[in-house]
Amino acid sequence: MASPSLSSSSLGYPPFVTKRLNELQEVEASIESLRAQLVAAEFRRDVIKKELASYKTSRVGAYRFPPELLCNILSLVDEDQVVRNRRLSLVCRLWRNMIESTPQFWNQITIKWTGSPNSFAKIWAYADICLQKSKASPLDVTVDLLDLPAYEEYIYQILRDHFLALRVNPLDFNDGDEVPYSAFYVEYMRFSATTIQRLCEFSKGHTSRWRSFRMNLPSALRESGIQWLFENAEGLYPNLVKLEYRIADDEDQDTIPMTLPFFPSLKWLETDQHLRFDYDCRMVSQIKHIQLCHHASVHFLNNASSLFSALVSLEMDIWGFGGGEHLSERVQFPSLRRLAISGDITERILGLFDTPRLSTLRLAGLKLFGCPIAPLFATLNTLSIEARPPGVLHGATLLESALVQTPRLVSAAISVDPSITADAITKVVDKVRNDGYTLSNLIEIKVTEKEPSLDVQGSALHATELKTLYKIDVSAHCGTSTYDWL
């Protein structure tokens, strides 16, 4: 028996209500259909957006660069390697993969004391990662122990927890008792040498990849590290191009002269220590840049010879040199183009240099009594003078005595305290020209002032930076000299 249907009529609804109920059912069915279409449309929209986003990303200029070019650009980011790699890896997946797989992003190996033996061990672990990921890329190696504490309470922990764990020059034990504390102190004094030995052992098989080596030591550790390297360097570093080592100043200790071993590819040398060259080796004739300070400058001037035939740039700090009265022989640098001298500059010192191709000269610390007369001024096209006070009048006199010696000069910069005025400079230039010195190549003169430098290297050459206050157009064709504030 069929069950009775429940129609609107059976429920007692009037006919118009039944019609409305049917319309409501149709509307609800339509809404459900539209909702399904909306979901499908939104899904399709998301798919299209994703495709377009991928297309737009691929059209960004940086992504269209060849990978080799993009790597070269990003490798120039001037940041610590750890910070740089982390920041670039966060940009996108493409850059992260590129950073991880490109050897040149991992070619800096830095062993720097940052506060504790534990952090030092982590630095060694990161150095091992860099050594592996750099593959065959040239290595730039740095050992920086300047912040190593000299407090005795740290010494025992440093050697016990670090060097014994590394098994580098392990200390002896007798019946379970450790060797006397004094032995640990001796090892601490050899910390730099031990670190270098650890580095060389760590990078065994990779020393041919060393491109540059920089070492900064506190005075307490002395030269033991670099001395060990020099004594064991023969034939191990055929591609070392740049060598830099400094030891913090200590007036109570004398530097120990060391002989620079044969590095067949060396082109760049920076040091503040006594250094002896093997003048019979061809390495001397290929060095292009030397930066020296303190005792190293004195020793160099006493022993330099014409064998430095390829030297293009020389920077020297000669504070406390005494004017060079004990020097007699001239030094010949046939290829030298840039010379920077900081310190007690005298006419005698400048007269020592035979530099027929010199074009740029920087003098820092010149006294305001007039510029020394020296043959090397004749070939200059760029001159920078950082003078010592007392006054503007003497600054103008110094500038005048420099201009009459530099017929080829194109640009000059002068720093005095108080700064020389633009009007004073204009009058000096006009006076020199009226006296028969045409200065036909001279275009501009800059007035600068000293400001603190962020690069503290313990050398007067790095003690200050020059900020340009204004420059003056002094071209010969100008009827009146003009100047612009910067």
pLDDT single digits (tens) 351-374: 888 889 999 999 887 765 566 777
415 and 451 both lie in a single domain = yes
Record the tokens describing residue 87, joined without a space: 């920041």
31 and 99 both lie in a single domain = no
**pLDDT above 70 for 421:** yes
**pLDDT above 90 for 268:** yes
129 domain-assigned? no
Q: What does the pLDDT average to over 441-448?
A: 83
27 and 82 both lie in a single domain = no
89-93, 161-165, 231-235, 276-280: least confidently modelled range: 161-165
402 domain-assigned? yes
Q: Which residue is it, tokens 């930066």?
A: 291
Residues 6+ apart with CB under 8 A from 80: none
Would you state the pLDDT for residue 16?
81
Express as a percent the part of the chain with pLDDT over 90.
14
412 and 456 both lie in a single domain = yes
Count of domains forming the chain: 3
37 and 101 both lie in a single domain = no
39 domain-assigned? yes
426 and 368 both lie in a single domain = yes
250 domain-assigned? no
Q: What b/e sequence results for 225-259 when a residue is b if at least 16 CB atoms lie within 10 Å of its CB, and e otherwise?
A: bbbbbbeebeebbebbbbbbbbbeeeeeeebeebe
409 and 465 both lie in a single domain = yes
35-49, 243-257, 304-318: least confidently modelled range: 243-257
Cα separation, 384 vs 415, in Å, equals 8
Would you state the pLDDT for residue 38?
92
153 domain-assigned? no
Q: What does the pLDDT average to over 132-159?
A: 77
* Entry pTM: 0.71
pLDDT range class, residue 447, cuts 50, 70, 90 = confident
> What CA dihedral angle connects 463, 222, 234 and 105, to 10 degrees?
-50
94 and 23 both lie in a single domain = no
**pLDDT above 70 for 50:** yes
1 domain-assigned? no
Express as a percent the part of the chain with pLDDT over 70.
68
69 and 50 both lie in a single domain = no
Record the tokens describing residue 159, joined without a space: 């050697």
Would you state the pLDDT for residue 466?
59
Would you state the pLDDT for residue 424?
81
Would you state the pLDDT for residue 130?
92
State the residue range of the domain holding 83: 60-105
349 domain-assigned? no
249 domain-assigned? no
Higher pLDDT, 184 or 320: 320
Would you state the pLDDT for residue 460?
38
Higher pLDDT, 455 or 89: 89
Domain boundary among 105, 140, 170: 105
Q: What b/e sequence results for 413-441 when a residue is b if at least 16 CB atoms lie within 10 Å of its CB, and e otherwise?
A: bbbbbebbebebbbebbeebbeeebebee
483 and 416 both lie in a single domain = yes
**pLDDT above 90 for 339:** yes
